[in-house]
Structure 1
Amino acid sequence: MRRNQRTTLIARTLAATAVIAVAVGCGPQGGTAGAGAPATPGSPSASASSRATPSGPASASASPSDDGKPAGKPAASGSPAGATAGPAPKVVMAAGSKGAQVKELQARLAQIGWFDDTPTGTYGAATTAAVKGFQGKRGLPATGSTDTVTWDRLLGMTKKPTADELAGRAVNKPVTKLDARCMTGRVMCISKTSRTLSWVIDGHVQSTMDVRFGSQYTPTREGVFSVFEKSRDHVSTIYHTAMPYAMFFSGGQAVHYSSDFAARGYNGASHGCVNVRDKAKISALFDQVHIGDKVVVSW
C-alpha cells in the first residue's frame, strides 16, 4: 500500500512539473514578453498558452503574434514596425493657435480656394477644416494641424499674401490653364483655384470674371454640367435673397450676380452657387449663354 501511494505521488509530481515546464516555454501571444519568459500565473494569456501548446518547444521566431504576423523583435516604443527612421513632421500651427502666421496660413489657403472667411489670425474650426481638405487632396495625413510638410507644400503652391489679402479684401489668385473639358463648344469654364469664370467658345476665351463659391459646409459641386434654366430676376425660395442673372446648372446651384460679393469680396461665401462680382459682366454673359451650354466646375 505504501509503495502504491509513493508511486502515485511521484507520478503526480512529474505531471505538475511537466505542466509548469510547458507554461514557462511559451510566451503570451502578441510578443509582449520575451521568448522563454513565464506568463503571469492565472492570467488569460497563461491559460490560453498552456491549452494551445503543441508538443515540443515552440520557436519564438515562428510564433504568430495577435495580428497574424511572425513575432520578432518588438518595435521601439511609439515607433510602428517597419517605419523608416527619421524625424517626424513637426506641428507648426494647430487648433487654438493665434498670430500673424495663422493669418498668413488662412490667406494662402484662400489663394487656392480652401478658405472663404476673413483671415482672423485664430486657428478655429473653419481653418482646421480647410487644412484637412488641403491635406486630403494631396495625399497627406488629414489631421487638420499644419505640420512642416503641409506648410512647405502650401508655401510652394502660393505667393506671399498682400495686405489686402490679409485683410480679406482681395485674393491673389494664381494663373491657371483652361480645363481640357472647356476646349470645345460653348462653355462656362469655372476654376476654384483661380476663382474665375471664363466664357469660352471653341477654346477661345471671350471674357473672364471673378467668382466665389460655397463654404466648406455648403460646397459648390464640381464636374461637367449644362445650363437647364435661366432667370434674369430670380429670388431664392429658400433664403429669400436676390439672385439676378441666375443660370442654373446643378439642382439649386447657379451662376448669378451677388451684391454681397460686390460689397464684401471674399469675406463671405455662397450657399453653393457661383457668385459673380461684376454686374455688367454677368449681365452681358447672361445674354450670350443658351440653355444647354456646358458648365465645367473644377479645381
Structure 2
Amino acid sequence: MNGPWRGAGGSRVPALGVVAALVLTLAVLGPLTVTPAPAAGATAGGTLRDPFSREIVRRGDVDADPYHIEHVYEVQYRLKRVGLFDAVPNGQFGPITEAGVKKFQKRIGVRPTGIANRPTWRRLIKQSVRGRGAVPPGCTTSGWHACYDRWWHQVNLYHDGKLLNSWLVRGGGSSTPTRTGTFRVYYRDIDHVSSAFHTPMPYAQFFSGGQALHGSRLMMDPYVGHSHGCVNFWTEDARQLWALTSHKRLRVHVYGQWS
C-alpha cells in the first residue's frame, strides 16, 4: 500500500466493505507470499551457480583489498584479452573500463550500458578463455573436472564435456610450482587454515599433497605474486567452485608452462 493506514485521532480506517473485499480475496488466493530479495552475490536474472556467472560490476566499483573483491580486475583482464582495454588493470572501474564494457556490449549486440551484467559476463568469460587447444583430453570426459592452465592463469570447470565456467587464478612460484598431472580431490575443508603458514585457505579442495584449490586472502591481481603451490582463487570464486563441486567427485588437471 502507498503509506500506512492511520488509526484513531484523525485516522483513516478502511470502510467495512473494503475489509470484506480483502477478506474474500485472501480466502480465494490463499496466504500472501513475499519474494525474497536476491542473496548477496546474486546476479540479475540468475545466481552464481549459473554457467559463466559473476556479480554485477559497474562504474565506481573497486577491488579494494583481498577481502573486498568486486571482480573489477577480472573485467579489465578479460576486456584486454578480447582487445578492448589498453590500460594496465588496476581494479578500479572508471571511464576507461566502462568504455571497454560498452564496446564489448556493442560487439555482442546488447544494449551498451557499460555495466557488466549477467548477459555481458556470460559472453565475456566465454570469449576470453584462452589456451583451448592445450586443454588435456581428460578435461572433457564424463564427470567433473577443474582444469588449471598455469600459463594462462585460469581454471576451467567442465562437466560431462561441457565448459561451465572459467576463473582467473594464480599458482605456485618457481621454487614451489603447482605440480602438473591429473589428480582427484581427496580432502575438503570450507574454513581451512594452513598449518605451515597460518593463513586462511577458505573453501579448500586438496588434490595433491598440501596443494589445493582455495580462496586467497592475499591475492589482488592474479598476475602478481605466487602461492606456495596451491591454486589461489579470489574467495568469492572459490566459494562459487565449492557450491558447484564440493559434493561431487572432482578431478583436477594441472598443465601448461609455469608462469
**TM-score, scaled relative to structure 2:** 0.47
**Which structure carries more relative contact order (alpha carbon 8 Å, separation 6+)?**
2
Structure label with greater radius of gyration:
1
**TM-score, scaled relative to structure 1:** 0.41
